[in-house]
Structure 1
Amino acid sequence: MALHLATTDEGNALLERDPLALLLGMLLDQQITMEKAFTSPSVLAERMGVAPGEHLDAAAIAVLPPDTLLEHFRTPPALHRFPGSMATRAQQLCQAIVDDWGGDAANVWTGVDDGAELVRRIASLPGFGDQKARIFVALLAKQFGVTPPGWQEATGDYGQPGHRSIADVVDDESRVKVREFKKAKKAQLLEQA
C-alpha cells in the first residue's frame, strides 16, 4: 500500500523506505498539520544532501552542529512552526537511535515481544510520550504490518478501526475524516474545560 502521509510523492516514498524518516515525521506531528509533519523529513533529507533513494542517517544528524541543523529546520519553508525546539528534539531522537538502537530506527520495533513493550520502547524515545507512542504503534501495525501480539490492546482506541489518527490516513478521504475527528475531539475538550 502506498502511503498518503506526506504532501509529495518523494515524501511518501522516503517514509515508506526509511524508518528514521517515519519516526521524525511522527516527532514533528504536533502544532502543525500532519501532512506538513510527515513531509518535513524529505525536505530535511534534501537539505542535508541525501541522494534520492537513500536514507536519513541518525548518526549524521546526531553529530551535526546544532546551528547547522537549526538552519536546515529554519530555512523557508521551515520544517516546523517551532524550528529551534524541534531541531533539538530531532537531534536528541537521532542520538537515542544511535546510542540505544545501533543507529537503525527499525531496531526499535524489530524483535519486539508484544504491543505493550513496543509502546514502551517508542514512548521512551525523546519527543515521544504515551499517546504519541500509541499512535505510532498503530501506524506501524496498520500501514507497515508490524503487529506484535497485543498491539491493538496496547494502542487503545488508535488500534481500532476508524479515523482517529495519522495511523488511519490511507487516502485523501480518510485524511479529511481524521481531521474532522480531531476537530470534534478538540471541541469536546474545550466544552469540558
Structure 2
Amino acid sequence: MDASDYSELEGGLVRMLDRLKNEGTATKDPEADQFLRDNANAVLLGLLYDQRVLAETAFCGPLKLRQRLGHLDMRQIADMDRDAFEAVFVETPAVHRFTNKMVDTTQTVARAIADEYDGDASGLWREGTNAEVEKRVKKLPGFGPQKAAKLKYCLYYFGHRDLSD
C-alpha cells in the first residue's frame, strides 16, 4: 500500500490531508503543521487525540501542550504530577474534550516512549516494515488497529517516514 494514497480512509484525517494537498495546511494552523513536521512526539500525540474531536483540533493538541509546558518532552510529561498536568491540559482551549481519559493516556504513552524509545516517538518507526511499526504502536494505550493503520499516512504527509509497502 502506497502511503501517499489515503483513499481507503474516511473522516477528519482525510479532510486534513486533502486540505494539506490543496491549501498547504493540514490543521489550518501553519505553526501546528510545522510542529508536526518537526517533532515525532507531536505526530504520535496528535494521532492519539484524534478521537471524537475534530481531527484539526486533535493534531493541534501537541502544540498547545508545548506552548503551555515549554516543551513536549515525554519523560517530563510522564513524570509530571497528574493534577498539575491536568491543569495544563484543561486550560482554554482544552487539549482534548475528554480530559480525564486523555490526561491519563497521554502520561501512559509518554512513559512508554520515555522508557522504551528514550523519549523519542520516532523510535517506534525508525526501523522496520509498516506491519512491524503498526505492531509496536498497537502496544500503546489508545492505539487500536484502525488508529495504528493511520500512522503511516501521518508519517508520510508530515515528512517523517514513508512506510509504503
Q: In which range does the TM-score fall when normalised by the shorter chain?
A: 0.7 to 0.9
Please report how far the alpha carbon of residue 148 of structure 1 lies from its aligned counterpart in structure 2 after TM superposition: 4.0
- What's the secondary structure of 2:28's corresponding residue? coil
**Does 2:165 correspond to 1:140?**
no
Matches within 5 A, 1:14-93: 14-50=35-71, 56-93=72-109
Aligned to 2:14: none
**Percent identity (aligned):** 33
Distance across 1 between alignment mates of 2:160 and 2:69? 30
User: Over residues 92-148 of structure 1, what are the superposed CA-to-partner deviations in whole Å (9 max), with x where a residue is unaligned?
Assistant: 110000111121111110121x11111111111121111000011232234426234
- Could you tell me which runs of 5 or more consecutive residues in structure 2 were left unpaired when the two chains were aligned: 1-19
Please report how far the alpha carbon of residue 149 of structure 1 lies from its aligned counterpart in structure 2 after TM superposition: 5.9
Which of these two proteins has the greater Rg computed from alpha carbons? 1
Q: RMSD between aligned alpha carbons?
A: 1.8
- TM-score with structure 2 length normalisation? 0.80
More displaced stretch, 70-79 vs 23-32: 70-79
Question: Closer, same or farther in 2 for the Cα pair 1:71/1:134, shift >3 Å?
Answer: same
Question: Closer, same or farther in 2 for the Cα pair 1:149/1:42, shift >3 Å?
Answer: closer
Aligned length: 144
CA contact (8 A) 1:123 1:130 kept: yes
Distance across 2 between alignment mates of 1:48 and 1:122? 25
